[in-house]
């Protein structure tokens, strides 16, 4: 099992010094990847549909800092030597996919092929609508956007004709190092899981329970069998909030307890076939955030 960490690119943690110093520390500690989250704006009025909290309300402060994920990936990627930089997740309808393909390919080129795209359709209608995309059509839009990006990354003389995007023959450079970037699909809905089977290199669920993971894995296995795809090709990366002691939090927290309790939970995940766990400690203070990752690396990772 591999382990990943969330970049300190939100709220009080979000400074250039913290981004760079934490990235170097995470690399030294043996984490496989660093992920960045995504929101462009936080509307003051949001319908309570967020699955990551108990009451459906999105608890992130409206004035809270969220560094743009691709900018954060660039900073972290240049400051490190071997750790993968990734998104969890990039909300595809927020941005033109041709521009996203260019930005990610550029980061991948500059970092020697160290980019993973965690992508999803998004859940916040207010944000997606104000950024110009039809919320009700975001699934079909994202399916086409992924196809478009893959064409741009792979073909020397690239073109694309679809419902939402029509691109004549163009030169697209730089290419990613391997002319492709792995894509992990976020979400737990049936359409999201179908997209994993059809287009993804893996699945990136968050705010999950063991039961939700088991159901999702069974759905993916069945879908792969129906589509003639090898389920073993898929990487499953779980994003999970955690704390070493009980804490007040408006978010759902999957791992709470001692090192031994977390090790037991990770062992169960490993048996289920989870290939990577992205830890998200819920500590507010940066020093606590760093200490949590040091404890994960020193007391947990080698014991699972």
**Closest to 78 in 3D by CA, of 46, 121, 43, 108:** 108
Whole-number Å distance between alpha carbons of 304 and 124: 36
Paired strand residues for 52: none
Strands 235-243 and 202-204, how do they pair?
parallel
State the pLDDT at residue 207. Answer: 81
pLDDT above 70 covers a percentage of the chain that reads 100
State the pLDDT at residue 249. Answer: 85
Buried/exposed 165-195: b ≥16 CB within 10 Å, e otherwise: beeeeeebeebbbeebbbbbbbbbeeebbbb
Continuous segment of H or E residues that includes residue 242: strand 235-243
- What number is the average pLDDT over the span 189-193? 96
Whole-number Å distance between alpha carbons of 132 and 94: 8
Is the CB of residue 241 less than 8 Å from the CB of residue 255?
Answer: yes
Whole-number Å distance between alpha carbons of 73 and 226: 36
Whole-number Å distance between alpha carbons of 110 and 76: 11
CATH number of the domain to which 81 belongs: 3.20.20.30
Average pLDDT, the chain: 96
Check whether 131 has a pLDDT greater than 90: yes
**How many CA atoms are closer than 13 Å to the CA of 195, on its beta-carbon side?**
27
- What number is the average pLDDT over the span 68-77? 98
In this structure, what are the phi and psi dihedrals at residue 173, rounded to the nearest 5 degrees?
-140, 150
**How many CA atoms are closer than 13 Å to the CA of 42, on its beta-carbon side?**
15
Continuous segment of H or E residues that includes residue 84: strand 84-87
- What number is the average pLDDT over the span 65-71? 97
Q: Give pLDDT tens digits for 236-283.
A: 999 999 999 988 888 888 999 999 999 999 999 999 999 999 999 999
Continuous segment of H or E residues that includes residue 119: strand 115-120
**CB atoms < 10 A from the CB of 269, how many?**
22
Q: Give pLDDT tens digits for 151-164.
A: 999 999 999 999 99
State the pLDDT at residue 9. Answer: 95
In this structure, what are the phi and psi dihedrals at residue 230, rounded to the nearest 5 degrees?
-80, 115
State the pLDDT at residue 291. Answer: 96
Number of domains in the chain: 1
State the pLDDT at residue 164. Answer: 96
Which residues constitute the domain of residue 96? 2-303
State the pLDDT at residue 294. Answer: 97
């Amino acid at each position: 099992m591999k382990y990943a960490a969330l970049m300190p690119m939100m709220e009080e943690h979000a400074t250039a010094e913290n981004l760079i110093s934490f990235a170097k520390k995470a690399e030294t500690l043996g984490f496989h990847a660093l992920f960045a989250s995504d929101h462009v704006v936080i509307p003051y009025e949001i319908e309570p549909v967020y699955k990551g909290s108990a009451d459906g309300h999105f608890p992130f402060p409206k004035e809270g800092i969220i560094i743009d994920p691709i900018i954060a990936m660039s900073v972290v990627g240049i400051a490190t030597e071997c750790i993968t930089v990734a998104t969890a997740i990039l909300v595809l309808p927020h941005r033109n996919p041709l521009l996203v393909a260019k930005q990610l390919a550029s980061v991948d080129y500059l970092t020697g092929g160290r980019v993973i795209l965690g992508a999803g359709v998004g859940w916040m209608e207010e944000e997606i609508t104000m950024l110009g995309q039809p919320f009700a059509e975001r699934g079909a839009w994202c399916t086409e956007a992924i196809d478009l990006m893959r064409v741009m990354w792979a073909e020397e003389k690239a073109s694309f004709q679809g419902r939402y995007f029509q691109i004549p023959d163009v030169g697209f450079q730089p290419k990613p190092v391997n002319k492709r970037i792995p894509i992990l699909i976020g979400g737990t809905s049936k359409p999201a899981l179908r997209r994993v089977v059809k287009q993804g290199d893996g699945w990136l669920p968050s705010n999950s329970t063991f039961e939700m993971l088991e159901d999702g894995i069974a759905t993916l296995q069945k879908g792969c069998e129906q589509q003639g795809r090898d389920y073993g090709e898929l990487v499953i990366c779980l994003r999970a909030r955690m704390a070493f002691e009980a804490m007040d939090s408006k978010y759902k927290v999957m791992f709470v307890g001692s090192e031994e309790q977390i090790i037991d939970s990770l062992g169960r995940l490993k048996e289920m076939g989870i290939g990577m766990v992205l830890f998200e400690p819920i500590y507010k203070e940066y020093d606590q955030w760093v200490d949590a990752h040091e404890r994960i690396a020193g007391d947990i990772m080698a014991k699972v």
